[in-house]
Chains A and B, each alone.
Chain A
Amino acid sequence: MLGVVGVAAGGFLGRRIYQSLEAPATTYHLAITEALVEMVDRTPVYHWAFEDLDNPARLPQMPGPLLKAIEGDAIQIEITNNLPDPHGFRIPGVPGDIGSGIVIQPGKTEIIAFDAPVGGSYLYFDHLNRPVNRVLGLHGPMIVLPKEGNTPYSNPTPNVQKLFDHLGTTEHFPGEPWNPERTRIWFFSTVDPRFNAMAERGEKIDQARFADEYLPRYFTINGESGAYSSHNHHTTPEGRIGQPHLIRIMNAGMTADSPHIHGNHVYLLARRDAAGALRIQENVPLVDTFTDEVSQCMDWLLPFIRPPDIPGDENIPLRQLIPTELSMTLGGVSQSPLTYPMHGHNEQSQSAAGGNYPQGLVTGWAITGDLDGVDFPPPNPEEKGGPPEAH
């Protein structure tokens, strides 16, 4: 049974949301099916999608269910193809047939069994008619944690190991070590409804035409866009200074993105390329923006340090150093806690329906309190902002 995590109130289960890694399931029952997925402007768009048959809500999900395991766990995935054409299943980076892809005929069930490979982020998808079937919704994340150690990897490089050893134990990283519970997945994808409509009509979609004419109209993180992906607690890292988070970025869509995070630089830890090769960084740079190639997995460590360019004595808690800002309400929203965005800097990705900024590939994170464990003050309802510019 899959641990059901991060389920919003009211039994809403359609969009898969990720939070903590609980005890890993050993058997998954998935179906390949179809659904209408409502976009950020409420346009319903036909998709192919995975469905988690163990989930009592029995709804397709976009992206597909989170597969999670510890290195060496025996994993069994039963996949039933409920659509009228063959579909595939591939996890690049897993040795053997699963890494190169298997085919499931219409109406058939295939059982895939493998030992969880080395620790890291993995993208699974339907590899047939590539990239069509992947982009039309048959994609999802897999996370494997290493059997031992304090990093996300089975064979960390010396610099990655040193970084994780330093979290919570050195003067420049006061606070806590990384806790695997402090992990977020940012699963990127794109939607061009013209091709989804062809799939809905049962038309064959030509690979070459798809690659040449694809124009994304929607950009999603964990199946959501804009205000939705920015204000979903299962997507946005939240914590006090000194509570580092791991962010696993996966790109199942059609665009090269340039994700940019505000408030803290992040450490680039590892990338897995489209073929599945994992490269853990020998050189672990601090970046605020980094290229996310198509079909790439990329891991960031968000250190949750005090934003380094706030002027003033570092020994004074922020709640005492910036009391005015923390007490302000602007546009009906409190400035406490401190929130920062992450967004694509290939800024076309910030649009929806060709406009509607910022309703695309955007989310954020929040610093909720100081290093000493004291949270920032509660919201003050007194409004200080003026009316927005009309447009």
Chain B
Amino acid sequence: MTLRNIPLRPVPREELPVFHKHVCPPTFSGDAIDPVTPTRRIARNLAVNIDLELRDGTKVPLWILEDPDDPVGGQVFPSKTVRTVEGDIIHARVGAKLNTHTIHWHGIEPTPMNDGVGKHSFEISGNFVYQFATNQAGTFLYHCHKNTALHFEMGLYGAFIVDPKKPDTAEAADVPDPPYPDGGPGYVRTVNPPYNVIKYDVEALWVPDDIDTRWHQLGHNAFMQKCNPDSPTAAENFTQDGILNDFWPDVFLWSGEPRSADDDTPFEKAAVNARVGQTILIRFIDATYTVNEIRFGLPARVISEDGYPFGVPPRGQYSQPFDLTAGEPIRITAAMRGDVLIKATKPGRFPCTIDFFHWITGKQLYRATTFINIT
């Protein structure tokens, strides 16, 4: 019997532009579109080349986003955290220093031209001012959305935290006005009438990541489909074989600190230090391409996911915060975030772990360990 063929759907001529734009977005630059007066301005440039030094001295090339207004701490990995206040209107000046790029403000939901996805808008050549509000206090991230498989892996990402305003209480007098300092103290949005915030003393940002060092030798446009506006769906527009479907990490990171696969030395940068009686807020952001399980080592309350707090009306009223027992895992994958509260009730050194499981085989690749130290 002759094999029957299921062909690709024919693309009508009038749909060819959208197929072309899907892989070859236009460039664009300039000021905010439909502008309104901002309450806060931020800036990021990309991409900046830095090296990640492993413990054996090996250097792995990274690309990061820099804060051009911060000559001291503007070039870090993960890229410098953006911190805004709930209700802010942001003008974000983004400079594409090398080639074209975008920034997607992941979990923040503006118009498509401010969402940073080339095939739904454009890629920045030069400078552009993104405009959006940060109407929901929570944990978000930002990252380049061009050839994202590669650009996100190379390090073009950072945390984006939206802080709630301080409540009108005596307790709040000791806390600086938002945006709160990295590391605490501050307030986080959660269901807790009447203000729906809770004060934390110590804040930790936990960012699991993994690196396949083969990918880090690739160029900016590695394995991108060719651009032929006359026949965007023709087979000859596709490049030769790439390796971007083949992710097999050999370096594991916790908030930017690396370990090789055979090195189980506990991570230092992510360690949390608090005193008995304090409230710890851990914000996690998954920057891996694997499947992960986090264990907090102490009883923990998960209060929000992907920037949206459980239980806070009106749109959060269909959920509630939930408790994890010490060592009970929470399972996550790439780009998921969450906020977790831990009460420091007794002194001790409590081990916390992040497991990395392969995205196809499900096999465990690595267990990362750090500690919550309570004195």
Contact of B335 among A14, A36, A289 (CB under 8 A): A289
Contact of A391 among B28, B107, B108, B227 (CB under 8 A): B227
The CA-CA distance from A263 to B108 in the complex, in Å, is 8
Asked if A331 meets B25 with Cβ closer than 8 Å, knowing A60-B4, A224-B9, A325-B34, the reply is: yes
Report yes or no: B3 in contact with A34, Cβ–Cβ below 8 A. Answer: yes
B300 is an interface residue with CB less than 8 A from chain A: no
Residue of A nearest to B126 (CB): A386
B122 is an interface residue with CB less than 8 A from chain A: yes
Chain A residues, Cβ within 8 Å of B107: 265, 288
0/1 interface trace, chain B 306-337, chain A, CB 8 Å (1 if under): 11101000111111101000000001111110
Report yes or no: A357 in contact with B223, Cβ–Cβ below 8 A. Answer: yes
Contact of A212 among B136, B319, B333, B361 (CB under 8 A): B361
The CA-CA distance from A149 to B143 in the complex, in Å, is 42
Chain A residues, Cβ within 8 Å of B131: 311
B373 is an interface residue with CB less than 8 A from chain A: no
Report yes or no: A216 in contact with B360, Cβ–Cβ below 8 A. Answer: yes
Task: List A residues 242-275 near B (Cβ within 8 Å).
Answer: 254-258, 260, 262-265, 267
- 17 residue pairs bridging A and B, Cβ less than 8 Å apart: A35-B3, A36-B4, A38-B5, A40-B8, A283-B310, A288-B107, A288-B335, A307-B110, A309-B108, A309-B110, A347-B244, A347-B289, A358-B22, A358-B23, A386-B26, A389-B125, A389-B221
Asked if A386 meets B360 with Cβ closer than 8 Å, knowing A34-B3, A267-B318, A309-B134, the reply is: no
Chain B residues, Cβ within 8 Å of A332: 17-18, 20-21, 26, 229
Report yes or no: B133 in contact with A215, Cβ–Cβ below 8 A. Answer: no
**Cβ of A264 to closest chain B Cβ, rounded Å:** 6
Tell me the number of A-to-B contacts counted with CB atoms below 8 Å. 342
Report yes or no: B34 in contact with A283, Cβ–Cβ below 8 A. Answer: no
Asked if A12 meets B360 with Cβ closer than 8 Å, knowing A215-B246, A284-B319, the reply is: no
**Cβ of B219 to closest chain A Cβ, rounded Å:** 9
The binding surface of chain A is classed by DSSP as loop
Chain B residues, Cβ within 8 Å of A230: 22, 119
Chain B residues, Cβ within 8 Å of A211: 361
Residue of A nearest to B89 (CB): A311
Chain A residues, Cβ within 8 Å of B335: 258, 260, 288-289, 345
Which of A43, A322, A328, A356 has the most C-beta atoms of chain B within 10 angstroms of its own C-beta? A356
**Cβ of B328 to closest chain A Cβ, rounded Å:** 15
Which of A37, A223, A257, A351 has the most C-beta atoms of chain B within 10 angstroms of its own C-beta? A351
The CA-CA distance from A348 to B246 in the complex, in Å, is 7
- Interface size counted on chain A using CB atoms at 8 A: 112
Chain A residues, Cβ within 8 Å of B307: 265, 288
The CA-CA distance from A303 to B318 in the complex, in Å, is 13
A346 is an interface residue with CB less than 8 A from chain B: yes
Asked if A355 meets B34 with Cβ closer than 8 Å, knowing A309-B110, A310-B133, A330-B26, the reply is: no
Which stretch in A22-30, A95-103, A336-344 binds the other chain? Answer: A336-344
The CA-CA distance from A215 to B108 in the complex, in Å, is 33
Report yes or no: A354 in contact with B21, Cβ–Cβ below 8 A. Answer: no
Report yes or no: B319 in contact with A353, Cβ–Cβ below 8 A. Answer: no
Chain A residues, Cβ within 8 Å of B9: 8, 12, 15, 224, 228, 232
Report yes or no: A331 in contact with B10, Cβ–Cβ below 8 A. Answer: no
